[in-house]
Chains A and B, each alone.
Chain A
Amino acid sequence: QKEVEQNSGPLSVPEGAIASLNCTYSDRGSQSFFWYRQYSGKSPELIMSIYSNGDKEDGRFTAQLNKASQYVSLLIRDSQPSDSATYLCAVADSNYQLIWGAGTKLIIKP
């Protein structure tokens, strides 16, 4: 069974620090990887997508992919209280359907 694993948290990070979120996946054939942010009671919002090994940066966010280790991470620099949310990792399978992790709750402490 295809799985995506995330630490449920909560992960508590001081304001201004770097938050590091991690995700592992089981399907070696996966080619597309996504990070979504979800505020309580709201729907998921796409914040990063990554398809190749290495780093991809967008503003304060950096996604990192290592296909050999089947590992995806999201770094948030200069963390702000507004970054407090649940972060969901999603991996597209060979049918381009998304397999989701349960999410990591991130708390940024002022």
Chain B
Amino acid sequence: DAGVTQSPTHLIKTRGQQVTLRCSPISGHKSVSWYQQVLGQGPQFIFQYYEKEERGRGNFPDRFSARQFPNYSSELNVNALLLGDSALYLCASTSPDRSYEQYFGPGTRLTVT
């Protein structure tokens, strides 16, 4: 089975612009989580979706939004980009059993100039 896929792999945007990042979970996984990781830190939780419903939201401003589609893929949107939004954005899908193991995609490297 294919792993978690994310697109694009790299992105360069200008301050004030908007960006959409995409993620497809592992087949059979219904939950997707989004994380932001800046250099030297662990991932910071942004959103979790399960069966198209938001299950959790981290401490991020309203400029960040997400949604999950009927096929369980997901999009993360960031509006009014700031320089500080430059980071690796990670998507993870959660195992459908009770283990709560999360498996990550390759990430999207966002650079805001």
Contact = CB atoms under 8 A, between A and B. Distances in A.
A107 to B, nearest CB: 15
Interface residues of A, number: 22
Nearest to A89: B42
A contacts with B: majority SS = strand
Most buried by B among A95, A98, A101, A103: A98
Contacts of A90: 42, 102
Contact of A46 (B42, B56, B101): B101
Nearest to B40: A102
A43 B100 contact: no
Contact of B55 (A46, A95, A100, A101): A95
Interface in B42-76: 42-45, 48, 55-56
Given A44-B90, A102-B42, A96 B100 contact: yes
Contacts, number: 53
A32 to B, nearest CB: 5
Contacts of A96: 94, 100
B contacts with A: majority SS = strand
Contacts of A51: 99
Q: What interface size band does chain B fall in?
A: 20 to 34
A42 B6 CA distance: 13
A61 to B, nearest CB: 15
A4 to B, nearest CB: 8
B48 A49 contact: no
Contacts of B90: 43-44
Contacts of A32: 99-100
A102 B104 contact: no
Interface string A35-49: 000000011111001
